[in-house]
Amino acid sequence: MDNTLPKSERLCGKTAVAALFEHGKSFQAGCLRCRYLRREDAEPVRIVVSVPKRHFKRAVKRNLLKRRIRESYRRQKSLLSGGVDLLFVYTSREVLPYETIYADMTAALEGLQ
């Protein structure tokens, strides 16, 4: 499987995100809160990543954390099959190293299986 994250695998659109918040289920995996919604179609898994401005005022830190979360997902996305919308929210109040985020992403993706 290709280890890229194309536009087709990114969740966008107001109705899709609203449906994820309205009907989705969530769980906590370390520093990540994962919200998911299973779909009927066999489209690829679509994700959206959020780092709250409330905890990280500087955009540089928010962007760093989003890059780390996307990278850890991208390297492990083969663990999931299609038909799922995912939201990852970073919940820790400090900038954690990449290895910690990677381990928490592994736990989140294994929890979805």
pLDDT at 112: 87
Pick the more confident residue, 21 or 81.
21
pLDDT at 89: 96
> Which pLDDT band holds residue 18 (cuts at 50, 70, 90)?
very high
pTM: 0.91
Each residue of 36-88: pLDDT tens digit? 999 888 788 999 999 999 999 999 999 999 999 999 999 998 888 878 999 99
Q: Concatenated DSSP letters for 30-43?
A: TTEEEEEEE-SS-P
pLDDT at 82: 77
CA 8 to chain centre: 15
Each residue of 82-109: pLDDT tens digit? 789 999 999 999 999 999 999 999 999 9
Those residues with Cβ within 8 angstroms of residue 23's Cβ, 6 or more apart along the chain or in another chain: 37
CATH of range 29-112; options 3.40.50.11540, 3.30.420.10, 3.40.50.2300, 3.30.230.10: 3.30.230.10
Enter the tokens of residue 4.
């890229």
Contact call for residues 83 and 38 (beta carbons, < 8 A): yes
